[in-house]
Amino acid sequence: MGARRRESGYTVLARELRTQILQGRYADGRRLPTEAELAERYRVSRQTVRRAFQDLVAEGMVYRVPGRGTFATPRRERGYLRQFGSIDDLMGLSADTRMQIIAPLRRRVDVNAAGRLRLPDDVVHVVVFRRLHEGTPFCVTTVALPPGVARSLASVPELTAPGATSDQTIIGLLDARLKAPIAEAEQSITVALADDETAEHLGCDPGHPLLKIDRLYLDTTGAPVELAVSHFLPELHSYRTNLRRSIT
């Protein structure tokens, strides 16, 4: 399987199993392979498999029955809990959510976004969309792109019409088109109150508390390629990360 650099084997395995569950490979109530089967399939130790299962149990993605095995949690009982520990996890949003365009990709003058993207002038390209899980909106995102980066998405039909839907993510679309792939994201998480427009798109009351997540994506050269500002309904979205201690 080949664990990614700076990632443990169980994290990579947990991501793989999580994606398979979200994509429906293990229907509700279906048993996952045993620890021994997964260890052989992915060429890892059984301890690695056991730790991956522990993470998935903690997320509510699977449950374990002593003497019987590990089973996918029925979707109706999972809610929407997603663990983000890497750029790949963010790209994995396409596994079980859809993007619906509110404002298509357009040129705009935005001094703040241009400054964050380290542009020589104030022109950026902006697209606004909401993300839905099983038809329910839980997030509204505004993405600002440098003009050169935006040109790579000009031919993507899902970004050009209001109401258009897609299972894509912007970073996923970019990663397939950029000369240098996306490598990292600088992130901040705060609380914000829903304005009238955001409240309408999320189906909540104006002034409703929202989880605001701001991400600046950088490619492997360190150049900013996307600024994404998202507002999540906290009752429909849980944000979870693992913090690991570096021991040398």
Task: Give domain status of residue 61, yes or no.
Answer: yes
**Token representation of residue 248:** 């040398």
Choice between 122 and 84, residue whose per-residue pLDDT is larger: 122
The CATH number given to whatever domain includes residue 49 is: 1.10.10.10
Choice between 125 and 179, residue whose per-residue pLDDT is larger: 125
Q: What is the pLDDT of residue 89?
A: 56
Is pLDDT above 60 for 247?
A: no
Task: Give domain status of residue 172, yes or no.
Answer: yes
Q: What is the mean pLDDT of residues 105-118?
A: 95
Tens digits of per-residue pLDDT, 159-170? 988 899 988 888
Task: Give domain status of residue 92, yes or no.
Answer: yes
| 212 plus 234 within the same structural domain | yes
Domain boundary among 78, 104, 130: 78
The CATH number given to whatever domain includes residue 181 is: 3.40.1410.10
Domain boundary among 61, 78, 95: 78
Asked whether the beta carbons of 27 and 72 are under 8 A apart, the reply is yes
Q: What is the pLDDT of residue 125?
A: 97
Task: Give domain status of residue 106, yes or no.
Answer: yes
| 97 plus 203 within the same structural domain | yes
| 39 plus 97 within the same structural domain | no
Range of the domain at 200: 87-240
| 136 plus 60 within the same structural domain | no
SS3 (DSSP) at 190? strand
**Token representation of residue 143:** 């993405």
Query: Which residue, chain included where needed, has tokens 């969309």?
Result: 129
Share of the chain above pLDDT 90, in %: 48
Q: What is the mean pLDDT of residues 48-65?
A: 87
| 60 plus 169 within the same structural domain | no
Choice between 206 and 240, residue whose per-residue pLDDT is larger: 206
| 152 plus 226 within the same structural domain | yes
Is pLDDT above 70 for 177?
A: yes
Q: What is the mean pLDDT of residues 86-113?
A: 80
Q: What is the pLDDT of residue 100?
A: 95
Task: Give domain status of residue 245, yes or no.
Answer: no
Number of domains within the chain: 2
Across 206-215, b (16+ Cβ under 10 Å) vs e yields: eebebbebeb
Element (H, E) at 149: helix 147-151
Mean pLDDT of the chain: 84
Distance CA 10, CA 58 (A): 14
Q: Identify which of 4, 53, 19, 54 has the alpha carbon closest to the alpha carbon of residue 33.
A: 53
Handedness of CA 46, 6, 63, 70 (dihedral sign): negative
Element (H, E) at 52: helix 46-59
Q: What is the pLDDT of residue 243?
A: 60
Distance CA 47, CA 146 (A): 45
Is pLDDT above 50 for 4?
A: no
| 41 plus 120 within the same structural domain | no
| 91 plus 68 within the same structural domain | no
Distance CA 184, CA 142 (A): 19
Task: Give domain status of residue 193, yes or no.
Answer: yes
| 121 plus 21 within the same structural domain | no
Max distance between CA atoms of the chain, in angstroms, equals 64
| 232 plus 111 within the same structural domain | yes
- Got the DSSP string for 125-173? EEEEEEEEETTEEEEEEEEEE-HHHHHTTTT-GGGSSTT-EES--HHHH
CA atoms within 13 A on the CB side of 148: 10
Asked whether the beta carbons of 182 and 218 are under 8 A apart, the reply is yes
SS3 (DSSP) at 179? coil
Split at pLDDT 50, 70, 90, the class of 67 is confident
Task: Give domain status of residue 97, yes or no.
Answer: yes
Asked whether the beta carbons of 139 and 131 are under 8 A apart, the reply is yes
Domain boundary among 49, 78, 107: 78
| 222 plus 169 within the same structural domain | yes
| 143 plus 197 within the same structural domain | yes
Q: What is the pLDDT of residue 18?
A: 82
Is pLDDT above 60 for 3?
A: no
Asked whether the beta carbons of 172 and 152 are under 8 A apart, the reply is no
Task: Give domain status of residue 247, yes or no.
Answer: no
Strands 81-83 and 238-240: parallel
